């Protein structure tokens, strides 16, 4: 079956007891046992819940994986996936990476005895140069946050297999509609379901997908023991979002492409980062491993931080807020907001400059978004 059919039906059959066409919210902490010796599939909701099972099954199907696991947040999913690494082992990670993942690597794993080296660029050779005999995992975001750089998933999967290590891909920015890393050779896929999978800025969640039974067992055991699980109602909200994922992602992309092309021609803009533009240095790679370019656009203003401040003060439709992937358009300063907790030196190492603006382009009318953005840019640009 095709993607949109899977998103609506598979893992979400009508309720056998009532005929409800949507999966019920099983708001139960515990379930009756048959006897002392026998229990059903569900007996305690930290271990398993019917609503969560439907979500996990559906996300696995959309990523073309065998096993899906849902978590209370994207960083909870990240921490769960990282349980495949043990003290004394080593991770090679993307240079341009989500601040929450960086904090896990540096504040949680490093004191625990797991070290991380950050590739100097997104080139496969840069990752390879960081591999040591202790390396257990390569961790990538593609496109990356916030510079929308790409890593070659197929090439890194081949490298990882050759060296006997694992490859994990954070697929949050594209969703399984535009990219399926397991099909490209990755071992683990991670999502913040808060973003595009939920799609309505009303729920926090995360997910891990794999086709490897041993990896699934390790991550599932952590899920049960640590208990960082989503509540049934949160699972239901994400399931609702998945049903419209295809049509939302296509509209996100159309609006983002329109604005990226517009910004590339504007005199106030120094540079635009969007994989769909032919000017993007990895545009050809984008066409090879992605079926679409997503709804995220980052650009740099010529006027530095003062220009960013003026733009943010003038813009109306774009909401100044953290997060991304909702139906409404959001605007953020990576240096001050999403990566603000990092040191200035770390931001400079990543080329996260003060003049960057990150847009999560929503589903509003493209002409309205264009007018709002042009008005704010004109007001903030000294001609």
Alpha helices in the chain (DSSP H): 3-8, 50-62, 74-81, 99-103, 110-112, 124-130, 153-163, 175-178, 213-226, 232-242, 245-264, 283-289, 304-314, 344-349, 366-380
Q: Which of 222, 242, 262 finishes a domain?
A: 242
Cα 369 to Cα 265: distance, rounded to the nearest angstrom: 16
Report how far apart, in Å, the C-alpha atoms of 346 and of each of 26, 318, 339, 349, 376 are.
44, 28, 9, 5, 30
Q: Do 191 and 271 belong together in one domain? A: no
Q: Do 143 and 224 belong together in one domain? A: yes
Q: Do 79 and 222 belong together in one domain? A: yes
Cα 364 to Cα 383: distance, rounded to the nearest angstrom: 29
Q: Give me the pLDDT at residue 383, please.
A: 42
Q: Do 234 and 102 belong together in one domain? A: yes
Q: Which domain holds residue 320?
A: 246-380
β-pairing verdict for 206-210 and 67-71: antiparallel
Task: Say whether 124 sits in a helix, a strand or coil.
Answer: helix
22-34 per-residue burial string, b: 16 or more CB within 10 A, e: under 16: ebebbeeeebeee
Q: Give me the pLDDT at residue 10, please.
A: 64
Which residues, 6+ apart, have CB-to-CB distance to 162 below 8 Å?
none
Structure token pair of residue 112: 């625990």
CB atoms within 10 A of CB 125: 11
Closest to 346 measured CA to CA, from 331, 330, 334: 334
Q: What does the H/E/C string look like for 65-102?
A: CCEEEEECCHHHHHHHHHHHCCCCCEEEECCCCCHHHH
Angle between helical axes of 50-62 and 232-242 (0-180°, round to 10): 30
Q: Do 204 and 296 belong together in one domain? A: no
Q: Which of 242, 272, 307 finishes a domain?
A: 242
Cα 92 to Cα 115: distance, rounded to the nearest angstrom: 9
Q: Do 53 and 102 belong together in one domain? A: yes
Domain with residue 72: its CATH number is: 3.40.640.10
- Sheet with strand 330-332: strands edge to edge: 269-273, 296-301, 356-360, 330-332, 319-320
For the chain, percent of residues with pLDDT exceeding 90? 85
Q: Do 259 and 232 belong together in one domain? A: no
Res 378 pLDDT > 90: no
Q: Do 204 and 259 belong together in one domain? A: no
> Which sequence positions are flagged as catalytic?
46, 98, 170, 195
Q: Do 207 and 155 belong together in one domain? A: yes
Structure token pair of residue 242: 């998945």
* Pick from 5-14, 168-177, 250-259, 304-313: least confident: 5-14
Over residues 3-30, the mean pLDDT reads: 82
Q: Do 189 and 88 belong together in one domain? A: yes
Angle between helical axes of 304-314 and 366-380 (0-180°, round to 10): 130
Q: Which of 214, 242, 270 finishes a domain?
A: 242
Cα 275 to Cα 286: distance, rounded to the nearest angstrom: 6
Q: What is the pTM of this model?
A: 0.94
140-166 residue pLDDT tens:
999 999 999 999 999 999 999 999 999
Tally of domains within the chain: 2
Q: Do 14 and 127 belong together in one domain? A: yes
Contact indicator for 41, 30 with CB cutoff of 8 Å: no
Q: Give me the pLDDT at residue 381, please.
A: 53
Q: Do 288 and 340 belong together in one domain? A: yes
Closest to 83 measured CA to CA, from 227, 216, 230: 216
312-349 residue pLDDT tens:
999 999 999 999 999 999 999 999 998 877 788 888 88
Q: Give me the pLDDT at residue 1, please.
A: 80
Res 304 pLDDT > 60: yes
Domain with residue 255: its CATH number is: 3.90.1150.10
């Amino acid at each position: 079956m095709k993607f949109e059919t899977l998103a609506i039906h598979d893992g979400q059959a009508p309720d056998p007891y009532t005929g409800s066409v949507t999966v019920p919210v099983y708001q139960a902490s515990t379930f009756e046992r048959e006897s002392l010796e026998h229990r059903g599939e569900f007996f305690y909701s930290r271990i398993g819940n019917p609503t969560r099972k439907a979500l996990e099954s559906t996300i696995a199907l959309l990523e073309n994986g065998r096993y899906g696991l849902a978590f209370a947040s994207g960083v909870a999913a990240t921490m769960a996936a990282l349980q495949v690494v043990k003290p004394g082992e080593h991770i090679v990670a993307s240079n341009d990476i989500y601040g929450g993942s960086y904090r896990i690597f540096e504040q949680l794993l490093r004191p625990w005895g797991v070290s991380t080296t950050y590739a100097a660029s997104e080139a496969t050779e840069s990752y390879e140069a960081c591999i040591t005999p202790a390396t257990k995992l390569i961790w990538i975001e593609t496109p990356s946050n916030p510079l929308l750089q790409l890593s070659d998933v197929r090439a890194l999967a081949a490298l990882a297999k050759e060296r006997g290590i694992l490859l994990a891909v954070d697929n949050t920015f594209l969703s399984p509609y535009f990219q399926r890393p397991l099909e490209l050779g990755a071992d683990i896929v991670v999502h913040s379901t808060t973003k595009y999978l939920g799609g309505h800025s009303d729920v926090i969640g995360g997910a891990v997908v794999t086709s490897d039974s041993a990896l699934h067992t390790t991550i599932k055991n952590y899920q049960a023991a640590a208990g960082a699980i989503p509540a049934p109602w949160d699972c239901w909200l994400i399931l609702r979002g998945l049903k419209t994922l295809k049509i939302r992602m296509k509209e996100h992309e159309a609006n983002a492409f329109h604005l990226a092309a517009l910004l590339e021609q504007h005199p106030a803009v120094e540079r635009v980062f969007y994989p769909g533009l032919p000017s993007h240095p990895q545009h050809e790679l984008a066409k090879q491993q992605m079926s679409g370019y997503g709804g995220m656009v980052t650009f740099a203003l010529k006027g530095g931080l003062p220009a960013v401040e003026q733009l943010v003060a003038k813009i109306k439709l774009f909401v100044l807020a953290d997060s991304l992937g909702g139906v409404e358009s959001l605007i953020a300063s990576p240096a001050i907001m999403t990566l603000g907790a990092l040191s200035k030196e770390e931001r400079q190492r990543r080329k996260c400059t003060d003049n960057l603006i990150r847009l999560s382009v929503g589903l509003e009318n493209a002409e309205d978004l264009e007018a709002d953005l042009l008005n704010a840019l004109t007001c903030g640009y000294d001609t």
